[in-house]
Structure 1
Amino acid sequence: MTASNNVAIHLHGASLRHGPVRALDAVSLRIEQGERVAIIGPSGAGKSSLLHLMATAIQPSSGYLELLGEQPWALPAGARQRLRARVGLVHQAPPLPPRQRVVTAVLAGRLGQWGVLRGLLNLLYPGDVPGARQVLAELGLADKLFVQCGQLSGGQLQRVGIARALYQRPQVLLTDEPVSAMDPVLADHSLALLNRHAQANGVTLVASLHAVELALAHFPRVIGIREGQVVFDCPADAVTEPMLDALYANEQLASPPTQGPTLTVQIPRC
Protein backbone atom coordinates (compact mmCIF):
# COMPACT_ATOMS: atom_id res chain seq x y z
CA MET A 1 0.00 0.00 0.00
CA THR A 2 1.41 3.37 -1.02
CA ALA A 3 0.25 6.91 -0.28
CA SER A 4 0.52 9.66 -2.89
CA ASN A 5 3.57 11.88 -3.10
CA ASN A 6 1.63 14.74 -1.50
CA VAL A 7 0.77 12.81 1.67
CA ALA A 8 3.02 13.50 4.66
CA ILE A 9 1.39 11.00 7.05
CA HIS A 10 -0.71 8.01 6.08
CA LEU A 11 -2.17 5.68 8.70
CA HIS A 12 -4.33 2.73 7.67
CA GLY A 13 -5.96 0.55 10.30
CA ALA A 14 -3.22 1.41 12.80
CA SER A 15 -3.77 -0.02 16.27
CA LEU A 16 -1.65 0.21 19.39
CA ARG A 17 -1.78 -1.85 22.56
CA HIS A 18 0.08 -1.40 25.82
CA GLY A 19 -0.28 -4.90 27.23
CA PRO A 20 -4.01 -5.46 27.68
CA VAL A 21 -4.78 -1.74 27.19
CA ARG A 22 -5.95 -0.64 23.74
CA ALA A 23 -4.57 2.87 23.15
CA LEU A 24 -5.51 3.16 19.45
CA ASP A 25 -8.03 1.12 17.51
CA ALA A 26 -7.83 0.83 13.71
CA VAL A 27 -7.00 4.49 13.03
CA SER A 28 -6.97 5.53 9.37
CA LEU A 29 -5.82 9.05 8.45
CA ARG A 30 -4.21 10.88 5.54
CA ILE A 31 -2.54 14.22 6.23
CA GLU A 32 -1.27 16.12 3.22
CA GLN A 33 2.08 17.88 3.10
CA GLY A 34 1.72 21.39 4.47
CA GLU A 35 -1.59 20.72 6.25
CA ARG A 36 -2.21 22.12 9.73
CA VAL A 37 -4.27 19.77 11.88
CA ALA A 38 -5.44 19.83 15.50
CA ILE A 39 -6.29 16.65 17.40
CA ILE A 40 -8.75 17.00 20.26
CA GLY A 41 -10.51 14.62 22.63
CA PRO A 42 -10.98 13.78 26.29
CA SER A 43 -8.16 12.70 28.59
CA GLY A 44 -7.03 9.18 27.80
CA ALA A 45 -8.50 9.26 24.30
CA GLY A 46 -5.18 8.34 22.68
CA LYS A 47 -4.00 11.75 21.43
CA SER A 48 -0.43 11.40 22.71
CA SER A 49 -0.21 7.80 21.55
CA LEU A 50 -1.30 8.86 18.07
CA LEU A 51 1.38 11.57 17.87
CA HIS A 52 4.12 9.27 19.13
CA LEU A 53 3.07 6.66 16.58
CA MET A 54 3.25 9.30 13.80
CA ALA A 55 6.73 10.27 15.05
CA THR A 56 7.85 6.60 14.90
CA ALA A 57 8.66 6.78 18.61
CA ILE A 58 6.49 3.67 18.94
CA GLN A 59 5.57 0.97 16.43
CA PRO A 60 1.92 0.14 15.71
CA SER A 61 0.78 -3.23 17.02
CA SER A 62 -1.00 -3.72 13.71
CA GLY A 63 -1.85 -1.70 10.63
CA TYR A 64 0.15 0.56 8.38
CA LEU A 65 2.14 3.80 8.69
CA GLU A 66 3.75 5.76 5.88
CA LEU A 67 5.72 8.88 6.75
CA LEU A 68 7.11 11.27 4.12
CA GLY A 69 6.84 8.57 1.49
CA GLU A 70 8.68 5.98 3.57
CA GLN A 71 7.55 2.93 5.53
CA PRO A 72 9.62 3.54 8.68
CA TRP A 73 9.30 0.11 10.21
CA ALA A 74 10.46 -1.54 6.98
CA LEU A 75 13.67 0.55 6.95
CA PRO A 76 17.04 -0.40 8.45
CA ALA A 77 17.70 1.31 11.78
CA GLY A 78 20.06 3.91 10.29
CA ALA A 79 17.61 4.93 7.55
CA ARG A 80 14.78 5.11 10.09
CA GLN A 81 16.90 7.42 12.24
CA ARG A 82 17.55 9.69 9.26
CA LEU A 83 13.81 9.79 8.60
CA ARG A 84 13.19 10.80 12.22
CA ALA A 85 15.56 13.74 11.77
CA ARG A 86 13.01 15.14 9.31
CA VAL A 87 10.29 15.05 11.97
CA GLY A 88 10.06 17.36 14.98
CA LEU A 89 8.26 16.30 18.17
CA VAL A 90 7.39 18.85 20.86
CA HIS A 91 6.56 17.22 24.20
CA GLN A 92 4.10 18.58 26.74
CA ALA A 93 6.92 18.44 29.30
CA PRO A 94 10.12 18.82 27.25
CA PRO A 95 12.79 16.35 28.47
CA LEU A 96 15.48 18.98 29.04
CA PRO A 97 18.24 18.35 31.63
CA PRO A 98 17.99 20.93 34.44
CA ARG A 99 21.67 21.93 34.13
CA GLN A 100 21.58 22.27 30.37
CA ARG A 101 21.69 25.86 29.11
CA VAL A 102 18.81 27.06 26.97
CA VAL A 103 21.11 27.82 24.03
CA THR A 104 22.36 24.23 24.04
CA ALA A 105 18.84 22.85 24.29
CA VAL A 106 17.70 24.86 21.28
CA LEU A 107 20.71 24.03 19.11
CA ALA A 108 20.24 20.34 19.92
CA GLY A 109 17.28 20.47 17.55
CA ARG A 110 19.72 19.76 14.73
CA LEU A 111 21.67 16.94 16.36
CA GLY A 112 20.03 14.46 14.00
CA GLN A 113 21.41 16.44 11.05
CA TRP A 114 24.93 16.90 12.44
CA GLY A 115 27.76 14.45 12.75
CA VAL A 116 28.83 13.07 16.13
CA LEU A 117 31.83 15.40 16.44
CA ARG A 118 29.84 18.56 15.79
CA GLY A 119 27.17 17.42 18.24
CA LEU A 120 29.74 16.88 20.98
CA LEU A 121 31.44 20.20 20.30
CA ASN A 122 28.09 21.96 20.52
CA LEU A 123 27.73 20.79 24.12
CA LEU A 124 30.88 22.72 25.05
CA TYR A 125 30.86 25.57 22.55
CA PRO A 126 27.41 26.42 21.12
CA GLY A 127 27.98 26.78 17.40
CA ASP A 128 25.11 29.05 16.35
CA VAL A 129 24.31 31.44 19.18
CA PRO A 130 22.71 34.03 16.83
CA GLY A 131 20.39 31.37 15.39
CA ALA A 132 19.28 30.22 18.82
CA ARG A 133 18.79 33.80 19.98
CA GLN A 134 16.66 34.63 16.95
CA VAL A 135 14.20 31.78 17.42
CA LEU A 136 14.01 32.38 21.18
CA ALA A 137 13.28 36.06 20.55
CA GLU A 138 10.20 35.10 18.54
CA LEU A 139 8.93 33.37 21.67
CA GLY A 140 9.90 36.14 24.07
CA LEU A 141 12.82 34.23 25.59
CA ALA A 142 15.93 35.93 24.15
CA ASP A 143 16.96 36.99 27.67
CA LYS A 144 17.04 33.32 28.77
CA LEU A 145 19.66 32.27 26.21
CA PHE A 146 22.34 31.26 28.74
CA VAL A 147 20.06 30.36 31.65
CA GLN A 148 19.93 26.75 32.84
CA CYS A 149 16.72 24.93 31.96
CA GLY A 150 16.16 24.05 35.61
CA GLN A 151 15.62 27.74 36.37
CA LEU A 152 12.68 28.08 33.99
CA SER A 153 8.95 27.78 34.65
CA GLY A 154 6.83 25.11 32.98
CA GLY A 155 5.53 27.54 30.38
CA GLN A 156 9.05 28.77 29.61
CA LEU A 157 10.26 25.20 29.18
CA GLN A 158 7.45 24.56 26.73
CA ARG A 159 8.53 27.61 24.73
CA VAL A 160 12.13 26.33 24.72
CA GLY A 161 10.79 23.02 23.38
CA ILE A 162 8.98 24.89 20.60
CA ALA A 163 12.12 26.93 19.84
CA ARG A 164 14.15 23.73 19.60
CA ALA A 165 11.68 22.27 17.09
CA LEU A 166 11.60 25.46 15.01
CA TYR A 167 15.40 25.55 14.92
CA GLN A 168 15.39 21.94 13.72
CA ARG A 169 13.42 22.95 10.59
CA PRO A 170 11.59 19.63 10.21
CA GLN A 171 9.28 18.73 7.35
CA VAL A 172 6.70 17.39 9.79
CA LEU A 173 6.16 19.04 13.18
CA LEU A 174 4.18 17.12 15.81
CA THR A 175 3.29 18.90 19.04
CA ASP A 176 1.76 17.23 22.10
CA GLU A 177 -0.13 19.74 24.28
CA PRO A 178 2.59 22.32 23.53
CA VAL A 179 0.95 25.27 25.36
CA SER A 180 -0.75 23.56 28.32
CA ALA A 181 1.46 25.34 30.92
CA MET A 182 1.18 28.81 29.33
CA ASP A 183 -1.20 31.63 30.14
CA PRO A 184 -3.85 32.36 27.47
CA VAL A 185 -1.93 35.22 25.81
CA LEU A 186 1.31 33.23 25.51
CA ALA A 187 -0.57 30.12 24.35
CA ASP A 188 -2.30 32.08 21.60
CA HIS A 189 0.97 33.75 20.54
CA SER A 190 2.90 30.47 20.49
CA LEU A 191 0.30 28.65 18.39
CA ALA A 192 0.08 31.58 16.00
CA LEU A 193 3.88 31.46 15.62
CA LEU A 194 3.82 27.71 14.93
CA ASN A 195 1.13 28.19 12.29
CA ARG A 196 2.95 31.08 10.61
CA HIS A 197 6.14 29.03 10.50
CA ALA A 198 4.29 26.05 9.02
CA GLN A 199 2.57 28.15 6.37
CA ALA A 200 5.72 30.01 5.39
CA ASN A 201 7.84 26.86 5.07
CA GLY A 202 5.33 24.26 3.85
CA VAL A 203 5.67 22.30 7.09
CA THR A 204 3.05 19.74 8.04
CA LEU A 205 1.86 20.72 11.55
CA VAL A 206 -0.12 18.39 13.81
CA ALA A 207 -0.98 19.44 17.38
CA SER A 208 -2.89 17.69 20.13
CA LEU A 209 -4.65 20.30 22.23
CA HIS A 210 -6.69 20.30 25.40
CA ALA A 211 -8.15 23.77 24.72
CA VAL A 212 -10.81 23.32 22.05
CA GLU A 213 -11.09 27.06 21.43
CA LEU A 214 -7.39 27.21 20.48
CA ALA A 215 -7.78 24.26 18.12
CA LEU A 216 -10.72 25.88 16.35
CA ALA A 217 -9.05 29.31 16.19
CA HIS A 218 -5.67 28.22 14.82
CA PHE A 219 -6.15 25.05 12.74
CA PRO A 220 -8.10 24.61 9.51
CA ARG A 221 -8.72 20.89 10.17
CA VAL A 222 -9.76 19.30 13.45
CA ILE A 223 -9.78 15.58 14.27
CA GLY A 224 -11.72 14.35 17.28
CA ILE A 225 -10.69 11.07 18.88
CA ARG A 226 -12.30 9.12 21.68
CA GLU A 227 -11.34 5.73 23.13
CA GLY A 228 -8.58 5.35 20.56
CA GLN A 229 -10.81 5.90 17.53
CA VAL A 230 -11.32 8.77 15.12
CA VAL A 231 -14.91 9.93 15.58
CA PHE A 232 -14.83 13.00 13.36
CA ASP A 233 -12.43 14.64 10.94
CA CYS A 234 -13.72 18.03 9.79
CA PRO A 235 -12.86 21.54 8.72
CA ALA A 236 -12.75 23.68 11.86
CA ASP A 237 -15.78 25.70 10.78
CA ALA A 238 -17.84 22.50 10.48
CA VAL A 239 -17.29 21.44 14.12
CA THR A 240 -20.50 22.02 16.07
CA GLU A 241 -21.38 22.26 19.75
CA PRO A 242 -23.32 18.94 19.65
CA MET A 243 -20.24 17.24 18.20
CA LEU A 244 -18.05 18.62 21.00
CA ASP A 245 -20.61 17.79 23.69
CA ALA A 246 -20.72 14.21 22.51
CA LEU A 247 -16.95 13.93 22.11
CA TYR A 248 -16.35 15.01 25.70
CA ALA A 249 -19.38 13.32 27.28
CA ASN A 250 -18.19 11.57 30.42
CA GLU A 251 -19.76 8.16 30.78
CA GLN A 252 -18.07 7.70 34.15
CA LEU A 253 -19.90 10.72 35.59
CA ALA A 254 -23.27 10.03 33.99
CA SER A 255 -25.92 8.63 36.32
CA PRO A 256 -26.44 5.04 35.17
CA PRO A 257 -29.98 3.70 34.86
CA THR A 258 -31.02 1.13 37.42
CA GLN A 259 -31.95 -1.23 34.59
CA GLY A 260 -31.45 -1.27 30.85
CA PRO A 261 -28.50 -0.86 28.47
CA THR A 262 -25.24 0.95 29.24
CA LEU A 263 -25.02 4.58 28.12
CA THR A 264 -23.47 4.99 24.67
CA VAL A 265 -22.23 8.22 23.14
CA GLN A 266 -23.51 9.12 19.69
CA ILE A 267 -21.33 11.74 17.98
CA PRO A 268 -22.84 13.71 15.09
CA ARG A 269 -20.83 13.71 11.87
CA CYS A 270 -19.64 16.81 10.04
Structure 2
Amino acid sequence: MSLSLRGVGLTHANGQVALSTIDLRVTSGERLAIIGPSGAGKTSLLRVLASNLQPSSGEIELLEQQPWRLPAGQRQKLRARIGLIHQSPPLPPRQRVVTAVLAGKLGQWSLGKSLLNLLHPLDLAGAQAALARLDLADKLFERCDQLSGGQLQRVGIARVLYQAPELILADEPVSAMDPILAGHTLSVLNDEASRRGSTLLASLHATDLALAHFPRIIGVREGRILFDLPPAEITPAQLDALYANEQLQTLPASPATAPVCLQIPRC
Protein backbone atom coordinates (compact mmCIF):
# COMPACT_ATOMS: atom_id res chain seq x y z
CA MET A 1 0.00 0.00 0.00
CA SER A 2 1.44 3.36 -1.04
CA LEU A 3 -0.94 5.54 0.95
CA SER A 4 -4.10 5.35 2.98
CA LEU A 5 -6.38 8.05 4.38
CA ARG A 6 -9.16 7.17 6.81
CA GLY A 7 -11.65 9.84 7.79
CA VAL A 8 -9.12 12.63 7.17
CA GLY A 9 -10.29 16.17 7.77
CA LEU A 10 -8.45 19.48 7.60
CA THR A 11 -9.66 22.73 9.13
CA HIS A 12 -7.49 25.82 8.76
CA ALA A 13 -6.75 28.17 11.64
CA ASN A 14 -9.39 30.62 10.36
CA GLY A 15 -12.06 27.94 10.66
CA GLN A 16 -12.28 27.15 6.95
CA VAL A 17 -12.89 23.46 6.30
CA ALA A 18 -10.57 22.34 3.49
CA LEU A 19 -11.10 18.57 3.69
CA SER A 20 -13.89 16.56 5.26
CA THR A 21 -13.88 12.81 6.05
CA ILE A 22 -11.61 11.80 3.18
CA ASP A 23 -11.18 8.05 2.69
CA LEU A 24 -8.63 7.02 0.06
CA ARG A 25 -6.47 3.97 -0.59
CA VAL A 26 -3.81 3.90 -3.29
CA THR A 27 -1.64 0.86 -3.99
CA SER A 28 1.99 1.10 -5.04
CA GLY A 29 2.43 2.00 -8.69
CA GLU A 30 -1.07 3.41 -9.24
CA ARG A 31 -1.53 6.61 -11.25
CA LEU A 32 -4.41 8.94 -10.32
CA ALA A 33 -5.66 12.35 -11.41
CA ILE A 34 -7.50 14.57 -8.96
CA ILE A 35 -10.00 16.89 -10.63
CA GLY A 36 -12.48 19.44 -9.37
CA PRO A 37 -13.30 23.15 -9.38
CA SER A 38 -11.05 25.85 -7.95
CA GLY A 39 -11.09 25.77 -4.16
CA ALA A 40 -12.30 22.17 -4.05
CA GLY A 41 -9.46 21.05 -1.77
CA LYS A 42 -7.14 19.46 -4.35
CA THR A 43 -4.02 21.32 -3.20
CA SER A 44 -4.87 20.77 0.47
CA LEU A 45 -5.20 17.04 -0.19
CA LEU A 46 -1.79 16.89 -1.87
CA ARG A 47 -0.18 18.89 0.95
CA VAL A 48 -1.61 16.45 3.48
CA LEU A 49 -0.28 13.54 1.42
CA ALA A 50 3.15 15.20 1.29
CA SER A 51 3.01 15.48 5.12
CA ASN A 52 3.37 19.24 4.79
CA LEU A 53 0.05 19.74 6.55
CA GLN A 54 -1.07 17.74 9.57
CA PRO A 55 -4.73 16.70 9.29
CA SER A 56 -7.14 17.94 11.95
CA SER A 57 -8.75 14.51 12.18
CA GLY A 58 -8.45 10.99 10.85
CA GLU A 59 -5.45 8.78 10.12
CA ILE A 60 -2.90 8.90 7.32
CA GLU A 61 -0.35 6.30 6.28
CA LEU A 62 2.36 7.03 3.70
CA LEU A 63 4.75 4.41 2.34
CA GLU A 64 3.86 2.12 5.26
CA GLN A 65 4.55 4.80 7.86
CA GLN A 66 2.34 7.16 9.85
CA PRO A 67 4.14 10.48 9.39
CA TRP A 68 2.64 12.31 12.35
CA ARG A 69 3.66 9.58 14.77
CA LEU A 70 7.30 9.82 13.69
CA PRO A 71 9.99 12.01 15.27
CA ALA A 72 10.78 15.06 13.15
CA GLY A 73 14.02 13.57 11.81
CA GLN A 74 12.36 10.37 10.62
CA ARG A 75 9.49 12.34 9.12
CA GLN A 76 12.05 14.31 7.11
CA LYS A 77 13.55 11.05 5.83
CA LEU A 78 10.08 9.94 4.76
CA ARG A 79 9.61 13.19 2.84
CA ALA A 80 12.84 12.46 0.93
CA ARG A 81 10.99 9.48 -0.58
CA ILE A 82 8.23 11.76 -1.88
CA GLY A 83 8.56 13.99 -4.93
CA LEU A 84 6.44 17.14 -4.83
CA ILE A 85 5.83 19.11 -8.03
CA HIS A 86 4.48 22.63 -7.47
CA GLN A 87 2.30 24.66 -9.83
CA SER A 88 4.82 27.48 -9.39
CA PRO A 89 8.11 25.79 -8.46
CA PRO A 90 9.88 27.59 -5.58
CA LEU A 91 13.15 28.06 -7.47
CA PRO A 92 15.54 30.91 -6.52
CA PRO A 93 15.60 33.32 -9.49
CA ARG A 94 19.40 33.42 -9.76
CA GLN A 95 19.83 29.67 -9.36
CA ARG A 96 21.08 27.77 -12.39
CA VAL A 97 18.84 25.10 -13.86
CA VAL A 98 21.42 22.37 -13.30
CA THR A 99 21.54 23.18 -9.58
CA ALA A 100 17.74 23.23 -9.37
CA VAL A 101 17.49 19.77 -10.93
CA LEU A 102 20.26 18.24 -8.82
CA ALA A 103 18.49 19.56 -5.72
CA GLY A 104 16.15 16.62 -6.15
CA LYS A 105 18.74 14.44 -4.40
CA LEU A 106 19.48 16.79 -1.48
CA GLY A 107 17.27 14.80 0.87
CA GLN A 108 19.26 11.66 0.01
CA TRP A 109 22.77 13.14 0.06
CA SER A 110 24.94 13.91 3.08
CA LEU A 111 25.28 17.53 4.20
CA GLY A 112 28.82 17.70 2.85
CA LYS A 113 27.84 16.39 -0.55
CA SER A 114 24.90 18.76 -0.71
CA LEU A 115 27.09 21.78 0.06
CA LEU A 116 29.68 20.69 -2.46
CA ASN A 117 26.98 20.36 -5.10
CA LEU A 118 26.02 24.01 -4.59
CA LEU A 119 29.59 25.03 -5.45
CA HIS A 120 30.18 22.52 -8.24
CA PRO A 121 27.39 20.44 -9.80
CA LEU A 122 28.19 16.78 -9.13
CA ASP A 123 26.14 15.04 -11.81
CA LEU A 124 25.91 17.08 -15.00
CA ALA A 125 25.01 14.02 -17.06
CA GLY A 126 22.14 13.06 -14.75
CA ALA A 127 20.68 16.56 -14.74
CA GLN A 128 20.98 16.89 -18.51
CA ALA A 129 19.31 13.50 -19.06
CA ALA A 130 16.32 14.53 -16.92
CA LEU A 131 16.03 17.85 -18.75
CA ALA A 132 16.36 16.19 -22.15
CA ARG A 133 13.24 14.12 -21.51
CA LEU A 134 11.36 17.41 -21.24
CA ASP A 135 13.10 19.10 -24.18
CA LEU A 136 15.12 21.40 -21.93
CA ALA A 137 18.65 20.01 -22.30
CA ASP A 138 19.81 23.29 -23.82
CA LYS A 139 18.79 25.17 -20.65
CA LEU A 140 21.22 23.33 -18.36
CA PHE A 141 23.23 26.41 -17.38
CA GLU A 142 20.50 29.05 -17.73
CA ARG A 143 19.35 30.98 -14.67
CA CYS A 144 15.82 30.24 -13.50
CA ASP A 145 14.77 33.88 -13.90
CA GLN A 146 15.52 33.60 -17.62
CA LEU A 147 12.87 30.91 -18.16
CA SER A 148 9.17 31.13 -18.94
CA GLY A 149 6.50 29.83 -16.58
CA GLY A 150 6.08 26.63 -18.57
CA GLN A 151 9.81 26.06 -18.66
CA LEU A 152 10.04 26.54 -14.90
CA GLN A 153 7.30 23.96 -14.42
CA ARG A 154 9.29 21.50 -16.54
CA VAL A 155 12.43 22.20 -14.50
CA GLY A 156 10.43 21.33 -11.38
CA ILE A 157 9.33 18.09 -13.02
CA ALA A 158 12.90 17.32 -14.14
CA ARG A 159 14.01 17.71 -10.52
CA VAL A 160 11.52 15.01 -9.49
CA LEU A 161 12.57 12.76 -12.38
CA TYR A 162 16.14 13.06 -11.11
CA GLN A 163 15.03 12.45 -7.52
CA ALA A 164 13.33 9.14 -8.53
CA PRO A 165 10.92 9.11 -5.55
CA GLU A 166 8.56 6.30 -4.58
CA LEU A 167 5.58 8.67 -4.46
CA ILE A 168 5.07 11.61 -6.86
CA LEU A 169 2.58 14.34 -5.96
CA ALA A 170 1.98 16.95 -8.67
CA ASP A 171 -0.11 20.07 -8.07
CA GLU A 172 -1.30 21.51 -11.41
CA PRO A 173 2.07 20.61 -12.98
CA VAL A 174 1.23 21.74 -16.55
CA SER A 175 -1.01 24.77 -15.96
CA ALA A 176 1.43 27.17 -17.69
CA MET A 177 1.88 25.02 -20.80
CA ASP A 178 -0.01 24.88 -24.08
CA PRO A 179 -2.15 21.74 -24.61
CA ILE A 180 0.35 19.90 -26.82
CA LEU A 181 3.29 20.50 -24.49
CA ALA A 182 1.11 19.71 -21.46
CA GLY A 183 0.11 16.38 -22.98
CA HIS A 184 3.72 15.50 -23.79
CA THR A 185 4.86 16.44 -20.28
CA LEU A 186 2.17 14.32 -18.62
CA SER A 187 3.16 11.41 -20.85
CA VAL A 188 6.77 11.72 -19.67
CA LEU A 189 5.65 11.88 -16.04
CA ASN A 190 3.39 8.84 -16.42
CA ASP A 191 6.09 6.89 -18.27
CA GLU A 192 8.56 7.63 -15.49
CA ALA A 193 6.12 6.48 -12.81
CA SER A 194 5.33 3.28 -14.75
CA ARG A 195 8.98 2.52 -15.43
CA ARG A 196 10.00 2.89 -11.79
CA GLY A 197 6.83 1.51 -10.24
CA SER A 198 6.28 4.85 -8.49
CA THR A 199 2.86 6.00 -7.35
CA LEU A 200 1.64 9.19 -9.07
CA LEU A 201 -1.14 11.58 -8.01
CA ALA A 202 -1.65 14.76 -10.03
CA SER A 203 -4.23 17.48 -9.55
CA LEU A 204 -5.40 18.89 -12.87
CA HIS A 205 -7.89 21.62 -13.75
CA ALA A 206 -7.91 20.50 -17.40
CA THR A 207 -10.36 17.60 -17.31
CA ASP A 208 -9.52 16.44 -20.84
CA LEU A 209 -5.87 15.90 -19.86
CA ALA A 210 -6.89 13.94 -16.77
CA LEU A 211 -9.19 11.64 -18.73
CA ALA A 212 -6.60 11.09 -21.46
CA HIS A 213 -3.57 10.33 -19.29
CA PHE A 214 -4.75 8.66 -16.08
CA PRO A 215 -6.47 5.31 -15.47
CA ARG A 216 -8.12 6.44 -12.24
CA ILE A 217 -9.90 9.74 -11.64
CA ILE A 218 -10.89 11.24 -8.29
CA GLY A 219 -13.45 14.03 -8.32
CA VAL A 220 -13.18 16.44 -5.38
CA ARG A 221 -15.63 19.18 -4.45
CA GLU A 222 -15.94 21.19 -1.23
CA GLY A 223 -13.35 19.01 0.47
CA ARG A 224 -15.09 15.72 -0.27
CA ILE A 225 -14.56 12.95 -2.80
CA LEU A 226 -17.61 12.80 -5.08
CA PHE A 227 -16.39 9.91 -7.20
CA ASP A 228 -13.40 7.61 -7.67
CA LEU A 229 -13.66 5.89 -11.05
CA PRO A 230 -11.91 4.89 -14.29
CA PRO A 231 -12.39 7.53 -17.02
CA ALA A 232 -14.77 5.35 -19.06
CA GLU A 233 -17.20 5.09 -16.12
CA ILE A 234 -17.49 8.82 -15.40
CA THR A 235 -20.79 10.21 -16.66
CA PRO A 236 -21.63 13.73 -17.87
CA ALA A 237 -24.03 14.04 -14.92
CA GLN A 238 -21.21 13.36 -12.47
CA LEU A 239 -19.02 15.97 -14.13
CA ASP A 240 -21.91 18.46 -14.11
CA ALA A 241 -22.30 17.93 -10.37
CA LEU A 242 -18.55 18.23 -9.82
CA TYR A 243 -18.19 21.50 -11.71
CA ALA A 244 -21.56 23.08 -10.88
CA ASN A 245 -21.34 26.88 -11.11
CA GLU A 246 -17.91 26.67 -12.75
CA GLN A 247 -17.14 28.20 -16.13
CA LEU A 248 -18.22 26.07 -19.11
CA GLN A 249 -15.62 23.45 -20.02
CA THR A 250 -15.75 21.09 -22.97
CA LEU A 251 -14.79 17.43 -22.80
CA PRO A 252 -13.22 15.55 -25.73
CA ALA A 253 -15.23 12.88 -27.49
CA SER A 254 -14.67 9.29 -26.40
CA PRO A 255 -15.52 6.12 -28.30
CA ALA A 256 -18.62 5.60 -26.18
CA THR A 257 -19.95 9.13 -25.93
CA ALA A 258 -20.47 12.20 -28.05
CA PRO A 259 -18.87 15.50 -27.01
CA VAL A 260 -20.44 16.84 -23.84
CA CYS A 261 -20.18 20.03 -21.84
CA LEU A 262 -19.66 19.97 -18.12
CA GLN A 263 -22.12 22.71 -17.34
CA ILE A 264 -25.55 23.91 -18.31
CA PRO A 265 -26.30 25.03 -21.00
CA ARG A 266 -25.48 21.64 -22.51
CA CYS A 267 -23.83 21.13 -25.90
* 2:261 corresponding residue in structure 1: none
Q: Is the 8 A contact 2:33 2:202 kept in 1?
A: yes
Runs of 4+ in 1 over 2 A off after TM superposition: none
In the alignment, structure 2 segments of 5+ residues that lack a partner are: 248-267
Alignment of structure 1 residues 101-116 onto 2, 5 Å:
101-116=96-111
Deviations 1:44-65 (A, max 9, x none): 0000000010000110011100
Deviations 1:74-109 (A, max 9, x none): 001111111100000000000000000000000000
* 2:85 corresponding residue in structure 1: 90
How far apart, CA to CA, are the structure 2 residues paired with 1:120 and 1:145? 19
Alpha-carbon offset, residue 130 of structure 1: 0.5
How far apart, CA to CA, are the structure 2 residues paired with 1:154 and 1:17? 31
How far apart, CA to CA, are the structure 2 residues paired with 1:241 and 1:192? 25
How far apart, CA to CA, are the structure 1 residues paired with 2:172 and 2:246? 24
1:57 to 46, 49, 52: 52
* 1:246 corresponding residue in structure 2: 241
1:11 to 1, 5, 18: 5
* 1:259 corresponding residue in structure 2: none
Q: How many residues align?
A: 247
* 2:62 corresponding residue in structure 1: 67
Matched, 1:127 2:129: no
* 2:225 corresponding residue in structure 1: 230
Deviations 1:11-42 (A, max 9, x none): 00000011210000010100110000000000
1:167 to 162, 169, 184: 162
Alignment of structure 1 residues 138-149 onto 2, 5 Å:
138-149=133-144
Alpha-carbon offset, residue 236 of structure 1: 1.4
After TM superposition, the score normalised by the length of structure 2 is 0.91
How far apart, CA to CA, are the structure 2 residues paired with 1:239 and 1:73? 34
Give the SS at the match of 1:112: coil
How far apart, CA to CA, are the structure 1 residues paired with 2:21 and 2:66? 18
AA matched with 2:6: H
In the alignment, structure 1 segments of 5+ residues that lack a partner are: 1-6, 253-270
Give the SS at the match of 2:106: helix
How large is the Cα RMSD of the aligned pairs?
Answer: 1.2
2:201 to 193, 196, 206: 206
Alpha-carbon offset, residue 240 of structure 1: 1.5
Matched-pair identity in %:
64
After TM superposition, the score normalised by the length of structure 1 is 0.90
Give the SS at the match of 2:169: strand
Alignment of structure 1 residues 178-197 onto 2, 5 Å:
178-197=173-192
